Chain A
């Protein structure tokens, strides 16, 4: 009987293709929109992923990574004094104005790394050597800063520009994840960052730390919080905090949420409707089968098999198309696109649910079907 069911499904090529296309595009729409949404969220916490350390310590009232609330310099030593902390280093982060030789102004994020260890630096460097940051007046730009400031003809290794009226010389270009605000990132050492920025009473933005290998990060974070009174977060926790902040305080959440929801509803509606129509058109065949004495249960099994087959095929094709889109369009990091297995699983579950719902509607129709319909 399964064979008959599949033969029915595949037999009418045009109908099958229409069904498949509807499902595939619905899946593709959801996966693509969802991935772009999640990609944007990843961009919003790019400052955290780019620094890539396990523990962040700062003022407990911090809302998100880019809203810096400076703390006292001695916080580094206080964090180092906590049991289970393997190391802790300072990080400066703040906004500053850069003036290029051609007279253009750009707002930049100044990131000051601890000068001896350079913990928090990007893993990959496109041009130059990151270690040259220790030279006098040296700074490192990220690739997006080059793009924002006018391309490699305007800024490149060796270009000299002004940071808050003080000299800065580019010694390397680092590869980083693009950030949501796309403010150019300028890396320098912590001491020089302090020298560049206008005077403030407190200068330390973050303490970056790592827990000892045998001690769980959560324990260390709890200890830092209770013993220093500072706010301590895991990189993941801080990232989520930032994402939640972005969702709450910007329009992205609402905008993308509605788009995804609409995509989801439209996609699923198309899928359900197409499949339902497919069953309705095949009612005559089902009627014939029923007239031949096939039990309703067998017919229901046939319909469910058809629904799952076409559903899974559409899912596969749709996911493949969405991935291909992301692979081609977002390969250079210019488009936010982050596909996750959670999203794919969610779509799969939703799609199967829709298939079951539309199949059950068809089955109800089949149960009520008079075999005599064949002869009308």
Chain B
């Protein structure tokens, strides 16, 4: 063939071949790099996804002081298990201690007065008895007898008055004791100290934004799932769900329904920034779960997938919650 003898033809074939080679090499789309960790995937056919936070079953207690005051001693540290009524921290009590001293000092004089009055009453009683036993009207006048009787009754009333004053003094002492006791802040219930934000020497303010201490029950945890209000109608009460901790998406934690919070609240942005950044409102659903084999902590964020039953899938609409409400639990 004459065509094959020409260099230009070979050049042309080479050019097309080269272009083809470059094209197949260059226009290949790189596959997506695999995710470093598995992204959370729904285990259900139809699902409602939510983001949740792990929290103590009983809501955390933000310990507050009864009065503003200087903190003299902190009895617990973070992570301590405390019993009910265990002392947590001590406010400055020197002023009340001083008051207690005066109050206590007021009691012995009164007690002495009571003793004194006893003798007075005894003395008058014997006098009165003696005067009454004399039958001669000339020896003891009616007037004397009357006077002595009045004096005796006065002395008895005096004794009662001093008794009352003593009781009052004791009550005043007890008041100070109770006020003193109040300055030792105690745990309102059993739990773990989750946060301690005070040191001895600091001044405890009333109503500060940050709690002085955070007390919670970390043995039993629950998950609070935030669902966008748009998806709220899709949530079926009693439906199961799974949660996965961020970074452990393949370890699914099965969830048991507890309740739906009846009030839809503005969503808090979990960015660590505590200034308000409300963008939408969320329905909150509470779920219980068994502790998984890996460690899990209160306050951790989780990805939640809730099961969603649909009318098209099951054929019949499941009336929400009514069948389960009837059975005694």
- Scoring B residues 1 to 40 as 1 if CB is less than 8 Å from chain A, else 0, what string do you get? 0110010110111111011001100110011110111111
Q: By the criterion CB–CB under 8 Å, are B15 and A317 in contact? A: yes
Chain B CB within 10 Å — which of A52, A116, A119 has the most?
A116
Q: By the criterion CB–CB under 8 Å, are A20 and B8 in contact? A: yes
Given A119-B35, A199-B277, A339-B26, decide whether A323 and B19 contact each other with a Cβ distance below 8 A: yes
Q: By the criterion CB–CB under 8 Å, are B33 and A123 in contact? A: yes
Bound state CA distance, A75 and B51, in angstroms? 11
- Is B305 interfacial (CB-CB < 8 Å)? yes
Q: Determine the chain A residues whose CB is within 8 A of the CB of B275 once the complex forms.
A: 199
Bound state CA distance, A320 and B27, in angstroms? 17
Q: By the criterion CB–CB under 8 Å, are B46 and A83 in contact? A: yes
* Number of chain B residues close to chain A: CB under 8 A: 58
Q: Which chain A residues (66-93) contact chain B, with CB distance < 8 Å? A: 72-81, 83, 85-89
What's the least CB distance linking A369 to chain B, in Å?
A: 25
Q: By the criterion CB–CB under 8 Å, are B22 and A194 in contact? A: no
- Is A118 interfacial (CB-CB < 8 Å)? yes
- Is B234 interfacial (CB-CB < 8 Å)? yes
Q: Determine the chain A residues whose CB is within 8 A of the CB of B277 once the complex forms.
A: 199, 201
- Is A327 interfacial (CB-CB < 8 Å)? yes
Chain A interface residue bracket vs B? 35 or more
- Scoring A residues 170 to 207 as 1 if CB is less than 8 Å from chain B, else 0, what string do you get? 00000000000000000000010011000101110000
Q: Which chain A residues (1-53) contact chain B, with CB distance < 8 Å? A: 3, 6-7, 10, 16-17, 20, 52-53
Q: By the criterion CB–CB under 8 Å, are B228 and A117 in contact? A: no
Q: By the criterion CB–CB under 8 Å, are B15 and A321 in contact? A: yes
Bound state CA distance, A327 and B26, in angstroms? 10
Q: Which residue of A lies closest to B16 (CB)?
A: A316
What's the least CB distance linking A94 to chain B, in Å?
A: 15
Q: Which residue of A lies closest to B17 (CB)?
A: A320
Bound state CA distance, A73 and B50, in angstroms? 11
Given A10-B6, A316-B13, A323-B15, decide whether A81 and B234 contact each other with a Cβ distance below 8 A: yes
Q: By the criterion CB–CB under 8 Å, are A116 and B18 in contact? A: no
Q: Determine the chain B residues whose CB is within 8 A of the CB of A375 once the complex forms.
A: none
Chain B CB within 10 Å — which of A6, A323, A338 has the most?
A323
Q: Determine the chain A residues whose CB is within 8 A of the CB of B22 once the complex forms.
A: 323, 326-327, 339
Q: Determine the chain B residues whose CB is within 8 A of the CB of A89 once the complex forms.
A: 39
- Is A267 interfacial (CB-CB < 8 Å)? no
Bound state CA distance, A253 and B40, in angstroms? 42
Chain A CB within 10 Å — which of B6, B46, B282 has the most?
B6
Q: Determine the chain B residues whose CB is within 8 A of the CB of A87 once the complex forms.
A: 39-41
Q: Which chain B residues (34-80) contact chain A, with CB distance < 8 Å? A: 35-42, 45-51
- Scoring B residues 235 to 264 as 1 if CB is less than 8 Å from chain A, else 0, what string do you get? 000000000001101000000000000000
What's the least CB distance linking A187 to chain B, in Å?
A: 13
Q: By the criterion CB–CB under 8 Å, are B228 and A78 in contact? A: yes
- Scoring A residues 305 to 325 as 1 if CB is less than 8 Å from chain B, else 0, what string do you get? 000010011111111111110
Q: Determine the chain A residues whose CB is within 8 A of the CB of B50 once the complex forms.
A: 77
What's the least CB distance linking A215 to chain B, in Å?
A: 12
- Is B168 interfacial (CB-CB < 8 Å)? no
Given A7-B2, A52-B32, A81-B48, decide whether A324 and B231 contact each other with a Cβ distance below 8 A: no
Q: Determine the chain B residues whose CB is within 8 A of the CB of A75 once the complex forms.
A: 228
Q: By the criterion CB–CB under 8 Å, are A319 and B279 in contact? A: no
- Is B176 interfacial (CB-CB < 8 Å)? no
Q: Determine the chain B residues whose CB is within 8 A of the CB of A316 once the complex forms.
A: 9, 11-16
Q: By the criterion CB–CB under 8 Å, are A313 and B12 in contact? A: yes
Q: By the criterion CB–CB under 8 Å, are B49 and A77 in contact? A: yes
What's the least CB distance linking A286 to chain B, in Å?
A: 19
Bound state CA distance, A320 and B3, in angstroms? 19
- Is A169 interfacial (CB-CB < 8 Å)? no
- Is B280 interfacial (CB-CB < 8 Å)? yes
Q: Which residue of B lies closest to A119 (CB)?
A: B35
- Is B269 interfacial (CB-CB < 8 Å)? yes
- Is A121 interfacial (CB-CB < 8 Å)? yes
- Is A162 interfacial (CB-CB < 8 Å)? no
When A and B form their complex, which 4 residue pairs have the shortest distance between CB atoms, in order from nearest? A320-B15, A316-B12, A80-B49, A87-B39
A residues near B (Cβ < 8 Å) are: 3, 6-7, 10, 16-17, 20, 52-53, 72-81, 83, 85-89, 114-119, 121-123, 131, 191, 194-195, 199, 201-203, 228, 309, 312-324, 326-327, 338-341, 344
What are some 6 contacts across the A-B interface (CB < 8 A)? Answer: A7-B2, A20-B8, A83-B46, A316-B11, A320-B11, A320-B12
List 6 additional A-B contacts (Cβ < 8 Å) besides A83-B45, A321-B15, A341-B23. Answer: A116-B37, A201-B279, A313-B8, A317-B15, A319-B15, A320-B15
